[in-house]
Structure 1
């Protein structure tokens, strides 16, 4: 692999969470087990949140119990939204990463986790402490990192301020998240290089949502910005049900793979298993 050493994070959890019809646990498990064989660095597989908030993910613990981790190097990431979720997730040795959505939009933080930014920072501190004691790593998503639709103040200085605070608390992985697809290639190229240059000991990733029309330009912008950790979802499925009624999809993994291959990056993926997962996805997403 090139000096960039890409970490591809596949996000079936993000893709499925907004689906209206419940996906049977056995089908979820079959799909995730295929994705585990592809060779991604990380699989964002589930979430320990209230089943009332995200009914689709109420079976995360059961799904986890049926995952086949033999022979895979892919690490598991679970999303948590409060201390109760953290305490549930850390009980599972199979999980490497706990992801927390930390919004720099006060409106969205309340909407997404029913807590203020200040309260969420306390949750992050508690999560970091528990992760350290249970050999887990925290991934903090800097949500609404490219702006927000709520009229909350946004500028690069606010992004950098919260990144600085999180790093000072001990966060080692920050993923800049565009929850509603408001980013542009220009914003990506403006913000990411500054963050990567300032926080040289922090892993800076990107979690973009997009419409199909501008996916490729955003991926290209992220690549040339020097990002090494890229979140995406097969076929661009999904979005955040807490953010909008009309979901803006994820960046499509196949687009990320194609662009990185064209750049000469050796991703070392099992494309046969990837194509099997593409076929199986039709039973989940239609």
Structure 2
């Protein structure tokens, strides 16, 4: 095991965005403030997208203003779906990462961002310029990276083609995203090592969704590839409301922590704050 520290990306935004009842801004901020004290590398905290599309995230700016960043090393990531969202997010000094879902399924890119894959490539280029000018870093998710439920063509060559194009454009962090939970340990172990080897100067991450029964197998498979960046959400809440009618939750952070601890990884997390966040999560997710 190399000494590169594991980057854990906690995703409360992904966990909350599909909830039917609006979570009060004050409660969101209290939850995020606890998570900020745990010691994750990155907190995917909110999104700058149309409130019509994701009403739950309409208060992202108000939440941001309520976050205490004075005593945390955790960096903030916000999701954007178009140039306007990226411009809005870039105005906020507290935000370090702008995340953009770049689907390699044409159907899903239209559903998720109202843009084609080619139009989205232009958005990525504009976002990279914006990031460079505002001291931000782009994180691009290769969503539907393990296949899609729409019958759009998918194979490893398509994944590699788009990874290559994005890296050539200047993307430094690529996260392979399994938006609907159809990845398998076999696919993870086939695709990830190839990407990590081919794009050795790019940070390659995993954003997996899973049913509870398959979580550990997927975490184990991801770890075996040498990946050093994993997205997850406390208790495995969440899913993408734009992708399918049945939400498949995120990988549960506690499962990732348990697995990595069993491998002797030094995660350096404040477990007391983690347990406080666990308790408070019941008020949000029921």
Output the TM-score relative to the length of structure 2: 0.99
1:263 aligns with 2:263: yes
Q: Give the alignment of 1:1-286 within 5 angstroms.
A: 3-286=3-286
Q: Distance in 2 between matches of 1:138 and 1:245?
A: 29
Shift, 1:163, TM fit: 0.1
Q: Distance in 1 between matches of 2:9 and 2:202?
A: 17
Q: Distance in 2 between matches of 1:245 and 1:137?
A: 32
What SS does structure 2 have at the residue aligned with 1:73?
coil
Distance 1:2 1:36, change over 3 A: farther
Q: Distance in 2 between matches of 1:56 and 1:241?
A: 11
Aligned length: 286
- 4+ residue segments displaced more than 4 Å: none
Q: Distance in 1 between matches of 2:146 and 2:117?
A: 17
Q: Distance in 2 between matches of 1:129 and 1:196?
A: 25
In structure 2, the gaps of 5 or more residues are: none
Q: Distance in 2 between matches of 1:108 and 1:119?
A: 13
1:2, 1:266 within 8 Å by CA — same for their partners in 2?
A: no
- Over residues 219-244 of structure 1, what are the superposed CA-to-partner deviations in whole Å (9 max), with x where a residue is unaligned? 00000001000000000000000001
Q: Distance in 2 between matches of 1:6 and 1:158?
A: 28
Q: Distance in 2 between matches of 1:30 and 1:215?
A: 28
- Over residues 155-181 of structure 1, what are the superposed CA-to-partner deviations in whole Å (9 max), with x where a residue is unaligned? 000000000000000000000000000
Shift, 1:2, TM fit: 5.5
Q: Distance in 2 between matches of 1:4 and 1:32?
A: 26
1:83, 1:123 within 8 Å by CA — same for their partners in 2?
A: yes
- Over residues 241-283 of structure 1, what are the superposed CA-to-partner deviations in whole Å (9 max), with x where a residue is unaligned? 0001110000000000000000000100000000000000000
Shift, 1:5, TM fit: 1.3
In structure 1, the gaps of 5 or more residues are: none
Q: Distance in 2 between matches of 1:2 and 1:193?
A: 15
Q: Distance in 2 between matches of 1:40 and 1:87?
A: 26
Q: Distance in 2 between matches of 1:213 and 1:267?
A: 24
Q: Distance in 1 between matches of 2:124 and 2:257?
A: 32
1:2, 1:265 within 8 Å by CA — same for their partners in 2?
A: no
- Over residues 115-169 of structure 1, what are the superposed CA-to-partner deviations in whole Å (9 max), with x where a residue is unaligned? 0000000000000000000000000000000000000000000000000000000
1:8, 1:42 within 8 Å by CA — same for their partners in 2?
A: yes
Output the TM-score relative to the length of structure 1: 0.99
Q: Give the aligned CA root-mean-square deviation in angstroms.
A: 0.7
Q: Distance in 2 between matches of 1:4 and 1:144?
A: 27
Shift, 1:4, TM fit: 3.8
Shift, 1:285, TM fit: 0.1
- Over residues 162-221 of structure 1, what are the superposed CA-to-partner deviations in whole Å (9 max), with x where a residue is unaligned? 000000000000000000000000000000000000000000000000000100000000
1:211, 1:248 within 8 Å by CA — same for their partners in 2?
A: yes
What SS does structure 1 have at the residue aligned with 2:68?
coil
